Amino acid sequence: MKKSTALREILGKRKATPAVGCHDVLSAKLIERAGFEIIQVSGFGLAATLLGLPDMAFLTYTEMMHITDNVVHSVGIPVMADADTGFGNAVNAMRVTEQIIGLGAAGMNIEDQVFPKRCGHIEGKTIVPADEMVLKIAACRTVRDSLDKDFVINARTDAIAVAGIDEAIRRGNLYAKAGADMIFVEAPRSREEIARAAREIDCLVSINLFDMVEGGKTPLVPIDELAAMGVARVSVPVGTTFAAMRGVKNYLEAIKGGRLAPGRTDLVASFDEFKEVVGVPKFRELEKEFLPEFVE
């Protein structure tokens, strides 16, 4: 089964399936090994780990595509790419869609912010006119229909922060009619707004819980409650990045000042565990089979 087809089947269950964000290939592999069904490439996470910068449109299209390509080919589960605003107008977005499908991604997020965009939970957002986004989605749909009809276009609206929930719902329905397969309602401010979006948007709906950490705009509603509302996907884009940051900080605190940390196996993975994740045993088997002078 194509990964895009598998993604459609997962989302069609409307069970609030978590789409966990990765910021590199290692985090993607760990997400898959933990048993999650969907990975999303996190523009927030890539900006932080690749550039050390906030998610405020500093990451280039080329950088985004390079990491996405590596992620898609490192895991067996569906990967959703981050297309930001389409990196330009509707015609630019067509090229981006073509490239993302060509990488083997199962779907993509594309949003209605004005470029330069920013993380949905950072203040200062502006959004493009609805009719401009409608045409951009229609353009992406044209590419999708010609290359992979199961590829999922997830149209994100940041309208709540700018114009309120009514406008977000209005835009969601316009975007669905234009060809989006799912509507990503960014930063709803209450359970009631989430429920309204799931009920009143005639399309699959995705909600971003900002990874169940404090500091986001959206209340931390349990997954089973979101599933009962009919939410299809729960975006959890940056928790792995925050966890990695905390883990490295804890390790550095333990060893700074010339100290060692004997016995602190809680701070690090074992070497054997690390070798397993990156595939050392597999490559050792290949060496044994194909190298004339294999060394045990």
Q: Where are the domains of the chain?
A: 3-244, 265-296
Long-range contacts of 269-272 (CB under 8 A, 24+ apart): none
Per-residue pLDDT of the chain in tens (296 residues, 90 and over written 9): 999 999 999 999 999 999 999 999 999 999 999 999 999 999 999 999 999 999 888 999 999 999 999 999 999 999 999 999 999 999 999 999 999 999 999 999 999 999 777 665 566 679 999 999 999 999 999 999 999 999 999 999 999 989 999 999 999 999 999 999 999 999 898 999 999 999 999 999 999 876 455 556 677 899 999 999 999 999 999 999 999 999 999 999 999 988 888 889 999 999 999 999 999 999 999 999 999 987 88
Long-range contacts of 244-252 (CB under 8 A, 24+ apart): 244/23, 244/27, 244/49
**pLDDT computed for residue 260 by the predictor:** 85
**pLDDT computed for residue 155 by the predictor:** 98
- Within 8 A by CB and 6+ apart from 84, the residues are 43, 57, 59, 64, 110, 111, 115, 117
DSSP three-state, residue 237: coil
Beta bridge partners of 107: 80, 152
CATH architecture under which domain 3-244 falls = Alpha-Beta Barrel (3.20)
- Within 8 A by CB and 6+ apart from 277, the residues are 26, 29, 30, 33, 269
**pLDDT computed for residue 57 by the predictor:** 85
SS3 content of the chain, % helix, strand, coil (to 5): 50, 15, 35
